[in-house]
A and B are shown apart, each in its own frame.
Chain A
Amino acid sequence: MRFKDYYQVMGVARDASQEDIKRAYRKLARKYHPDVSKEKDAEEKFKELQEAHEVLKDPEKRAAYDQLGANWRQGQDFRPPPDWGKGFEYSRGGGEAPGEFSDFFSELFGERSPFGRSTRGGGRAGRGFSAAGQDHVARVEIDLEDAFRGGTRTIELRSPEMTADGHVVVKPRTLRVSIPAGVTDGQQIRLAGQGSPGIGGGPSGDLFLEVSIRPHRLFKAEGRDVTLTLPVAPWEAALGENVSVPTLGGSVDMKLPAGARAGQKLRLRGRGLPGNPPGDQYVLLKIVLPPDGPRARQLFEQMKREVPFDPRADLGQ
């Protein structure tokens, strides 16, 4: 397993006060909190931070961690010392979310470590005790095409499970999930009974999938509606034209009205994501000039001479 340098993760010195650690946690939590942050890998960084904080905020765990010595480097290959945890008296229980943390954490501070055993293990799994399994929330990223057509996704989950002797182990689990057509960004799918198994005959928890749709090269989705920016030539905008427009279901013909403006939005009813009612596709017009060349130049010069037009007449100069 890899060593975790919790001081480095939190950006504090090894002799930082508990107050410093609290401040560093608050500051970094604001920066990396997955609900707030736009940073890349925010979720992963936040988990690392929580793990580091879980150890360093607790004077007993911190003291045990410090005993490993100051020479370990982040990511270095690590084996826990055989006498790990000896000589400490533990008053508090394991982590808040051990299933989410690294092997390093579960080995040293998790449910199977001396820290976990001191308070858990005993009464919890005893006779007559039962509890519902935990619910899980997982995020799945899908392409807009998948949202349009529907399909299946394989997702990997890590869920804590209670063993017969009362220990909690983290088990990887693979699930194939059907993604219904018409699912939108941020929408949830509830998979009843697919959370953690219950304890002592309690019911299993549920799994909630939060769908997020990856940005698409052409289409921008908002709810079931999608928007496409369509480049048109100045004469197409001026004269009107039938143009071919890509949609999620394939190209369709659209009538461009004469005198169309840049930034104008046209609607293709029912061409967004399927549903009841289905979404629409909006086509946002963008006027592009032809590449520079002698013939284009000649024609523009002719327009300049022959078309009386002052685009800045309204500026009042």
Chain B
Amino acid sequence: MSNIDRIVEGQMLDESAWLELGEFCAYLRVERHWVSQLVEAGVLEPRGAAPEAWSFPASALVRARATARLVNDLGVNLAGAAVILDLIDERDRLERRLAEIERLLDR
């Protein structure tokens, strides 16, 4: 296929990319209402006080998608998903720390 010959360039969504509520919803193809619920449950922490002033870091897209998967697949509610995501972050942080310490001890 012609796609193979062509190299596709994408838009980097790094920490410098902040998305307004409308844009954020468009990327996820969800209603504003759902995103508001995520903010209310503490899953997402946007910059800005009111919804019209909210902006989200691109990393929040990953978190929002993970939330949708957890809610759909495990039958947890948003508050439960928030707890799971926080615990996963904490586990990952501890694993990195542990790996660092093991490297110091083992070699």
Contact = CB atoms under 8 A, between A and B. Distances in A.
Interface of A: 26, 29-30, 33-36, 46, 50, 132, 135, 137, 152, 154, 173-178, 180, 182-184, 186-192, 194, 206-210, 220, 222, 227, 229, 231, 262-263, 275-276, 284, 286, 288
A186 B12 CA distance: 12
A191 B69 contact: no
Contacts of B70: 33, 35-36
Contacts of A34: 69
A222 B95 CA distance: 12
B10 A176 contact: no
B14 interface: yes
A207 B9 CA distance: 11
B104 interface: yes
Contacts, number: 103
Given A29-B74, A50-B73, A288 B7 contact: no
A310 B103 CA distance: 27
A185 B88 CA distance: 15
> In which size bucket is the chain B interface?
35 or more
Contact of A190 (B11, B73, B103): B11
Contacts of A194: 8
Scoring A36, A50, A135 by chain B CB atoms within 10 A of each residue's CB, the highest score goes to A36
A33 B107 contact: no
Given A26-B74, A35-B66, A190-B13, A174 B3 contact: yes
B106 to A, nearest CB: 9
B78 to A, nearest CB: 14
A177 B104 contact: no
B104 A191 contact: no
Contact of B27 (A206, A210, A229): A206
A188 B3 contact: no
A137 B66 CA distance: 11
Contact of B73 (A33, A186, A189, A286): A33
B12 to A, nearest CB: 6
B41 interface: no
Nearest to B85: A35
A31 to B, nearest CB: 11
A274 B12 CA distance: 14
Nearest to B72: A96
Contact of B75 (A26, A46, A189, A208): A26
B74 A176 contact: no
Given A50-B73, A186-B59, A189-B12, A286 B104 contact: yes
A184 B66 CA distance: 18
B23 to A, nearest CB: 11
A33 B4 contact: no
A34 B84 CA distance: 13
Contacts of A191: 8, 10-11
Closest 10 CB pairs of A and B: A189-B10, A188-B13, A191-B10, A190-B11, A229-B103, A35-B66, A176-B7, A178-B9, A178-B7, A177-B8
